[in-house]
Chain A
């Protein structure tokens, strides 16, 4: 009995040390309990007749948002990784500069413009938003894939080919696993960018956590803006923390990490 309590205590202390879990808890409570905060908003904005966004529940909005981000990230992931693989093969090498030039220029397009230009092709709503999200997510994933695949040590590749690895085994068993930290970093980047872009998607009629924000801005209702902004900000931070945890968890060896370790240059000069 005492051992169980001790173990529970240790577990709780472990949880307390992880900020990500606290933020996730906060996120979930905001999603479900936002209407319960009505008195708070009424106090902050006494002139507002309807301080809580009611056009759709926050759960619906969050799910729609996550759905947009998830689908687009998966599609962009396949395209980005596929292009990255192509561009690092013998046959695709000459396409590398052009592909990265196109992706880089694509990244300078403001997200709203991509959304707007997709309208004649795909109409209003989720369609253009999804298209914009996919296009946006391709660059970071492509960059991650190319950096990761180029970081595979030449000696390992040479040895593998000489030992008799066929091109597919080489790719799946050696190159992709070694490139995976970089690809994961690129994916993380892409997902965070997409969470932001999906928010703007509400301006072309997509249902997302940006809907209360956009509506609040056009109707000068700051309560709606804060509600939407808080939840989407928490969503972004929690997702980022989740990816960070995933990166740590999957790291096969500590110094294959792509992020430069911020060294402690703690020397105070004399």
Chain B
């Protein structure tokens, strides 16, 4: 009797994890920040965690053959958490052990095996959660529990000897100010985009002729590469700030946040306006007819009827615009606007890849968090209709 595989995704993930564990490097050790590194595979890591990781992978492989969905999914979640813990704790523990026996300049960075195991564990959890159709509240709870566990381990100093943590702590002060600057860039861009986008949508709805022109121009802006748009704004803005001193006092200059915010606003307009327009266009004709018949004027109609009904579409556009802006703001660091992208470019320049991660990981987490928050908002707006 050949055993039937009931969850091929899980099996595929385990295969990838096993290959990574056998052939990849768990940690990379280098004598200092600039020198080349030596690969350290999983089985050289501390026994407890390495064994736990391997056993976890084995257990997941076996679970792939289990038929009962609910039971298998719960078991997968537990084992995946074990693998996650083993990878995180193992990496930190390994680094701590190694650094106690070597000079302080030595660097231990996370290798491909580590990232693969973490990805495999998280994806296995995602797959299990989807198959057992876990309730939203429980999903949120799971994510919260994982984050909490991570924070606990970090507070306990588990990760202190990893080069990523060292890079982070050495840039700690600037990190939070750059994070703030990044959020400010995105926030300002979205705010201005809303201020311009909502009236623009109203205009396009009322005048069909404007439709073609508006969407065509916004579309053209969208295709222009971000750095090109940033670059093109520098010269005129620096000329302007030279000639109009009050702008210079406001902080508007050729480089810095001004060109970044202008460009990000322009980029955010298209997804916003398009989404809002489509949403409003779909607002039932009969609802609008009834309102007009009852005596709603144009302005009233917009604010009391169309806007609330078009809210999910507006939020959907905001979601796309925000995630896009979070990613684009990373490039803004090149023109002196700061933000998390500064770490990425600095890391590229210094060939310090951990610094790149210090910039990149928060950007990804911000984007995922924004995605999640907006999806909650959209769902609640939909429920109220």
Interface positions of A (Cβ within 8 A of B): 44, 94-95, 97-98, 101-102, 105, 108-113, 115-117, 119-120, 192, 195-197, 199-200, 203-204, 210, 213-214, 216-217, 222, 225-226, 228-230, 232-233, 236-237, 239-240, 260, 262-266, 268-270
Contact = CB atoms under 8 A, between A and B. Distances in A.
B237 to A, nearest CB: 10
Contacts of A95: 8-9, 12
B208 A225 contact: no
A110 B341 contact: yes
B228 A265 contact: no
B208 A264 contact: yes
B273 to A, nearest CB: 11
B235 A222 contact: yes
Interface string B215-237: 10001101111111101101100
Interface string B192-229: 00000000000001111101100100011011111111
A119 B367 CA distance: 24
A98 B9 contact: yes
B231 A217 contact: yes
A198 to B, nearest CB: 8
A42 B177 CA distance: 39
B231 A228 contact: yes
A233 B226 contact: no
B334 interface: yes
B375 interface: no
Contact of B235 (A203, A204, A225): A225
B44 interface: no
B254 interface: yes
Interface of B: 7-9, 12, 123, 126-127, 130, 205-209, 211-212, 215, 219-220, 222-229, 231-232, 234-235, 238, 254, 277-278, 281, 292, 297-298, 301, 323, 326-327, 330-331, 334-335, 341, 344-345, 347-348, 351, 353, 356-357, 359-360, 363-364, 367-368, 371
B330 A112 contact: yes
Contacts, number: 167
A199 B228 contact: yes
A68 to B, nearest CB: 13
B220 A102 contact: no
Contact of B360 (A94, A113, A204, A230): A113
5 contacts: A108-B368, A111-B330, A117-B357, A217-B335, A226-B232
Given A228-B228, A229-B227, 10 more contacts: A94-B9, A95-B9, A108-B367, A116-B353, A120-B353, A200-B225, A226-B235, A268-B207, A269-B206, A269-B298
A109 B234 contact: no
Contact of B232 (A113, A120, A229): A229
Nearest to B225: A196
Contacts of B345: 112, 203
A222 B238 contact: yes
Contacts of A101: 123, 126
A270 B301 CA distance: 11
Given A110-B363, A195-B225, A236-B224, A97 B231 contact: no
Contacts of B222: 192
B347 A268 contact: no
A98 B8 CA distance: 11
